[in-house]
Structure 1
């Protein structure tokens, strides 16, 4: 499959993901990535870090020896076992680093060959991906890893994503896999929260939306997805999610959270999207192909509010030209070029309204209070 364009494309070639890899080839590929500055030398950075930590702890031990009241030789002999343990720990850490780096090099080599075999390209990592979706604007240290990008005709990107929130002991790392598909026109902000991947406390998404924006659809769709669209855009959502489109999402993307925002279609999963597992790629390619096969229908959509806004601006301008006559009192026809709204979304449809997770926050507060009360002496 050269790129996920239609469901009838050439079958996906997953053989490079599982074929035996010569270690020399993997090392040479990693060396090429470092030479082109597409990755840093993680092994060297780790070794330097272990060395600094070892010198620090050995220095503390030697300082204790020098300040000990015992004779120097006695204190040193007592501290020698601890120094040996520190050295062994450092050597084990270096060995583990080399072993894990070998696995990383093999994974990168396989993903690169897989991308090439299917007419795509592999990017080891990139910082601060510029997608407008809900997971891309939170936290810090935002990075995509093992990025596999389609070369055309439509931009498609598969990757794993990580970002951090909080600081100190409250620092938390969030990991996602995503698929990003470029659309030809902007569409209203729509979120499909898959029910199959929710937790005990509800949605696993990092952003919650006001319940007034939830739209119930026919058939079994509500059993698989909770669909949110901006208020006033219910008819537009029904136009985009016709029964055949809903059936495709249920059959191919029921475990994926989906977000349509601006001119992007984004699919999220809590596991790696870019992996050496052939079944995962077949699943994701199937989901993308099923959606792309219906994008022609979506790209005919136009926001009538854009035409109303343009007509209103023209009436206001016409009124000003006639000495400030109120625009509403003039019989005004839209210009011929505006008989069909231009591509775009009116401001009220560009973003959903979010809500604060009061219930979860309340439960956390109650849990903390109970813990403090139970921990009190007596």
Structure 2
């Protein structure tokens, strides 16, 4: 089994990108934003919070410049220059007014730009038979990034359901608190599959950093499966222990070639009946080139998912047989009931023998041991943290001063 190298260009999948770049009437954008808030598709602005922040900011700036102005005025008065006293007294007021005006202008421009952006994305979605949702808090998806941190929010969701459900979106969540608070940015594509599949992760090697994978989760190295051909140059594949044969069934040479040719820059996760494509950048943008790339990736994979729908977990066969004991019982045509056994004996002998039914096919689903990968220990993070802690301890103890002091 060999996998071709990614030499073929990604196939083109037609879509209408004109709404992304066409001019937008400001009045139409404002009306669209108002309609989103009215129908609940976008939460209304927290007016009380905005007013409180604005008042606190203005009071702080006013107090600061009042103090500065008083100091300047006192200095000018002490110098005996009346004109300078008057002019210098007004400087803090002028600066304060300028700051307030600048903040208001920036807020208005930002709000209008956001409204125009949402209208463009909504028109783009409609032009391509899809729908648009500006915000969604805590999306109920099983991917690895959707259970981390707090303040989880997907934004600019573009969804379609033909030929299967697909969702393009940006995603944010935060970790830590105070000075250690960090916001994590992701773009994702979620594709609904026909049946649940084993938990499989393709960690793209092309987007890894200095300390390894950029994924937020680490998996046990014993679950890594090496595939033939060039696939290992582009992806590290992880599958649950015991599901190696199943992974080989799912990732046939033609499917591996599709991933290499079209998705080598993306991390991939298959979990339950979903496939996710991840990258640490926004996916739902006003850039036609980004959409052309994402549409080509999804389009290249869609026609290969049909063969995944035929996969069944053989580990569920015993459970299915136990629940349906009669389904696998051999059947013989023409067997009469005891009451009519004599009358039907001749007829039964004239009917050909029907062979036993095939063993019951496992139902769709995944056995418990295949539903989630085993997490690993991020040794690199621990090593880096240990080095930092050791450096701090040695520096506080003055050890470095013994070597660098003159």
Fold-level similarity (TM above 0.5): yes
- Do the aligned partners of residues 74 and 352 (structure 1) sit closer, same or farther apart at CA in structure 2, a change above 3 Å counting? farther
Whether 1:142 aligns to 2:152 is yes
Pairing partner for 2:311 from 301, 312, 327? 301
Q: Are the counterparts in 2 of residues 193 and 226 from structure 1 also a CA contact under 8 Å? A: yes
Classify 1:338/1:86 alpha carbon distance in 2 versus 1 (closer, same or farther; 3 Å): farther
Shift in alpha-carbon separation, 1:337–1:82, aligned structure 2, 3 A: farther
Query: Quick check: 1:343 aligned with 2:346?
Result: no
What is the distance in 2 between the residues matched to 1:79 and 1:338?
94
Larger CA deviation: 364-373 vs 30-39: 364-373
Distance in 1 between residues matched to 2:377 and 2:96, nearest whole Å? 48
The residue number in structure 2 matching 1:34 is: 37
1:198-237 deviation line (CA, Å, top 9, x unaligned): 1111100000101100000111110010000000000000
Structure 2 vs 1, CA of residues 376 and 42 (structure 1 numbering), >3 Å: closer, same or farther?
A: farther
The structure with the largest alpha-carbon Rg is 2
Q: Is the 8 A contact 1:179 1:268 kept in 2?
A: yes
Q: Work out which of the residue numbers 283, 287, 295 in structure 2 matches 1:285.
A: 295
Aligned to 2:55: 52
Q: Please state how far the C-alpha of 1:301 moved relative to its aligned partner.
A: 0.3
Give the corresponding residue for 2:274: 264
Q: Please say which of residues 32-41 and 142-151 is displaced more in the overlay.
A: 32-41
Displacement after TM superposition at 1:279 (Å): 1.1
What SS does the corresponding residue of 1:115 show, helix, strand or coil? helix
Contact 2:12 2:296 in 1 (8 A): no
> Shift of the alpha carbon at 1:95?
1.5
Structure 1 residues 81, 372: CA separation in 2 closer, same or farther (over 3 Å shift)? farther
1:298 Cα deviation after fit = 0.3
Question: Which residue of structure 2 lines up, in the alignment, with residue 318 of structure 1?
Answer: none
Quick one: structure 1 residues 88 and 45, their matched pair in 2 at CA, closer, same or farther if it must change by over 3 Å?
A: farther
Q: Unpaired segments of 5 or more residues in structure 1?
A: 1-6, 316-334
- In structure 2, the residue matched to 1:321 is none
Return closer, same or farther for 1:368/1:79 CA change in 2, 3 Å cut-off.
farther
- Map of 1:365 onto structure 2: 386
**How much does 1:90 deviate?**
3.0
SS at match of 1:209: coil
Structure 1 residues 247-273: Cα deviation after superposition (integer angstroms, max 9, x where no partner)? 000011111100000000111111111
Show CA shifts across 1:300-330 (max 9, x none). Answer: 0000000133446779xxxxxxxxxxxxxxx
Are residues 58 and 274 of structure 1, via their aligned partners in 2, closer, same or farther at CA, if it must alter by over 3 Å? Answer: closer
2-structure distance, mates of 1:195, 1:110: 34
* CA RMSD in angstroms, aligned pairs only: 3.1
TM-score (structure 2 length as normaliser): 0.78
> Which stretch shifts more, 197-206 or 51-60?
51-60
Cα distance in 2 between the residues matched to 1:152 and 1:45: 42
Equivalent residues, number: 350
State the Cα distance separating 1:183 from its structure 2 match. 0.8
SS of equivalent to 2:113: helix
Q: CA deviation at 1:359?
A: 1.8
State which of 127, 130, 155 in structure 1 corresponds to 2:140: 130
> Aligned equivalents of 2:159 and 2:317: distance in 1?
36
Query: What is the alpha-carbon distance in structure 1 between the residues aligned to residue 209 and residue 124 of structure 2?
Result: 33
Q: Check whether the contact 1:182–1:264 (CA below 8 A) recurs between aligned residues.
A: yes
Measured in 1, the distance between the counterparts of 2:205 and 2:11 equals 29
What secondary structure, in the 3-state scheme, does the structure 1 residue paired with 2:237 have? strand
Are the equivalent residues in 2 in contact too, given 1:50–1:90 (CA < 8 A)? no
